[in-house]
Each structure stands twice: as C-alpha cells, then as structure tokens.
Amino acid sequence: MAGVNTMEKKLAEYKCDTNEAICLKLVRFPEDVEDDGITFHPEYSHQSYGDDEVAFGYKGLQIQLFYTAGNLSTLFKVKYSSKVTEAFDCVEPDDIEGKIREIVPAGFTCNTDDFISLLEKEANFKPFGTLLHTYTVHSEEAGELTYQIHKADITCPGFHEYHERLQTFLMWFIETASFIDADDDRWDFFLVFEKYNKDGETLYATVGYMTVYNYYVYPDKTRPRVSQMLILPPFQGEGHGAQLLEAVHRFYCSLPKVQDITAEDPSESYVKLRDYVLVKLCQGLPSFAVDKLPLGFSADMAKEAQDKLKINKKHARRVYEILRLRATDMSDEEKAREYRLEVKKRLFGPYRKNQRELTKMRKCLRPEELVSHMDQMDTQTQHEELEKSYQVVVEDYRRIIERIAAQA
C-alpha cells in the first residue's frame, strides 16, 4: 500500500493546471516574443482538457499560443522540463498537441523565427469591412489611443480564415463557447481594432469582436441576436465593450426592417453592460424625462424605446428602473418605498407564476406531494428572496448610475 501511495505521489508531479500552462500573447514587436509581461492565460480550458482542467504527463508544461497582433497569424509550441515516459514505463501522457490542434486552425507555425518573419507582413493587414465608428481612449503610458469599429461579413476577402483564428479565443474566455457556422450569410461580424505606430507606419491590432445572427420575424422584419462578444484580456477594463455594443446598437437602429435587438443566453456581465449602454441611449428620450419617471413605466416609454432604439419592452423596463432610481431621493422614506414596490412588482413575476402552478397542483397532486411543493414555495422565504433580489438589483443599478456620472 505504501508503494502505491508513493507511486501516486510521483505521478501527481506530472499533473499541470492547463489554465496556467497555456500562455497566450498578442505580439506587435519581435521583442514581445520573449516578454513574459504581456502573457495572459485562459479563464477556462475544460473544453479541451476536461472539467478538472488538468494535463497529465509533463513537468513544467508550457503551451505557447502566440498571435501577431493584427492578422492573428499563430505560433504554437509545447515546452516542458520532463515527460512521464522518461521515468515510468507503460504510462502514457495526455495528447497535449492533439487537443490544441482541434481548436487552432491549420496554417500555424511551430518555428519562432518563422513567426517573427510574419510580423513584417503585419503592415499589410487592414481591418475588414466597413468603418462604423472611431473613438479614442486616454492611456497614462501612451497618451491618446485611437480605436475603430468595423462591420464585416464572410464575403470580405481573407475574413473567413481570420475569423477562424479569432474565434479560438472564445474557448479560453467564454465558459460555454462553441464555434459558429460562419458561412451562413445571416451572420454579421463587428470588430474592434487599435491603430498603432511601428517604424513610422500605421498598423492595426485586434481588440475584440461580436457576432450577431439575423433572425426572421414575420412578416417582414429581422431580429438581430447577439451570439458572442469578447474583448481580449489585454484590452479589458478600458471601455471597449460599451463602445462596441453602442456602435452595434446604433447600426441596427438605422435599419428600418429591424424589430428589436436581443442576446442569446446573456451572461451577467453582458446584462450589466447592456443596461449601461441602453440607459445612455434612452436618457434623452422625451418619454423617459425626469418628470415622467415617478408616474411609472408607461406604454409611451415602451413604444418610444422600441420605435427609436429597437429596444424591447423587457429591456426598456430595466432602463426605466435605473433612470427612476437616479431621479429618486432615496432618503425620502415615501419616495424610496414607492420605488422599492415598483421594482419588486416586476421581480415578483416568477413568484406569482409559482403561485399559479401551486393552484394547478392542488387539483392533481396527492396530499404528501403537495406539502413538499408548498414547502418550496413558503411565503416567508419568498419575501426574503424578493428582498435579496431587490438589493442586488439596486446595487447593480447604482454602479451603472455612477459609471454614467463619471463619463459626463
């Protein structure tokens, strides 16, 4: 038994956390290849290496996936200090390279010198598609940096191959990511690029992107649905997501045939970003004027948000709640109570649905089954959960209000 435990301990030394082992890098200059300071790592690697996100068979494992900053030409190398087969017979290491090859499209190089030579071609890389929006961000180190948002589709020359390289990042940063069928012409692609200078030339670096699928709505409308959105980690926290989402929203607002704009299984962070952008867009609409907010969410608000900004009723309601919170003196007990009841009225929807389900259950469940369901829907618990939900919502709303105030 002791021998078995010793063997297990020795084999455990050959296990590596794949989130740490995978080293990602966006390379602009040859010296970046050796600069560990610009390396970033995945948040997720379970789709390639299992739920434990562990690779077996190596010590000091490093999986290098380096991309040229613009065109995303790829260097793929695997390094390690020792391999399990060097110490143990009949023990097979995991197929590290095979897992990466399932994600990274063909055309990558495994040679560092060849990769560095590809950097010279970056000057030829230009953003795909049509320019929608240009904006600047102030950097303490670099001063004013200029960014562009472009709309592309699969017919743009070279875009299909570029998109195959770009979407590999999804696997490392979106938990439930999957690749799309980019050949379907109902996909729209929105790309963010940074303009930068290298040896007197203007070059472009990939910052992030969004994919949107255009669904048909009877009889003659479309409903664009955001499918994927990712700002690459070196650029996160700089406001690019909000710029991208607002530019995409304004683009679709200009199309008469668009019904409204939605998102597919939005994450919590995406919902907060969307709230922020939609509040910015709606705060100037007449129906959302400060004097209208205490009167409650109105049909005029829903209609104006829909007609002018392609915002559906559910999202417009959240915008109203945020703007009303901003306009409400929460130190006034009566006004605070009115606001709280207004928000809880919306939040109570799922609980009301539970009550309707319970009424149906009374007719078809045996007494002991009914008791177990009634326990799940205890009124006191409902009130406590409702209050918790309210506090979380208001806290999120306050952060959005503060962010908008900071941008003013």
Active site (catalytic) residues: 264
Handedness of CA 99, 182, 160, 189 (dihedral sign): negative
| Phi, psi dihedral angles at 277 (to 5 degrees) | -65, -45
Give the SS3 label for residue 8: helix
Q: How many CB atoms lie within 10 A of CB 247?
A: 21
Cα(304)–Cα(284) distance, integer angstroms: 11
The token duo for 6 is 């010793």
Q: Which residues contact 26 (CB under 8 A, 6 or more apart)?
A: 38, 67, 68, 69, 205, 206, 232, 234
Which ranges of 45-141 does DSSP label H, i.e. alpha helix?
46-49, 96-101, 112-119
User: Comparing C-alpha atoms, which of 333, 231, 217, 233 is closest to residue 25?
Assistant: 233
**In what helix (H) or strand (E) does residue 405 lie, and over which residues does it extend?**
helix 379-407
**In what helix (H) or strand (E) does residue 63 lie, and over which residues does it extend?**
strand 62-68
Q: How far is CA 230 from the centre of its chain?
A: 5
| Phi, psi dihedral angles at 42 (to 5 degrees) | -65, 155
Q: How many CB atoms lie within 10 A of CB 279?
A: 22
Tracing tokens 């417009």 back to the chain, one arrives at 316
Cis omega (within 30 of 0) on the bond before 219?
Answer: yes
**In what helix (H) or strand (E) does residue 231 lie, and over which residues does it extend?**
strand 221-231
Cα(97)–Cα(90) distance, integer angstroms: 20
**In what helix (H) or strand (E) does residue 227 lie, and over which residues does it extend?**
strand 221-231
The token duo for 264 is 């597919």
Q: How many CB atoms lie within 10 A of CB 355?
A: 12
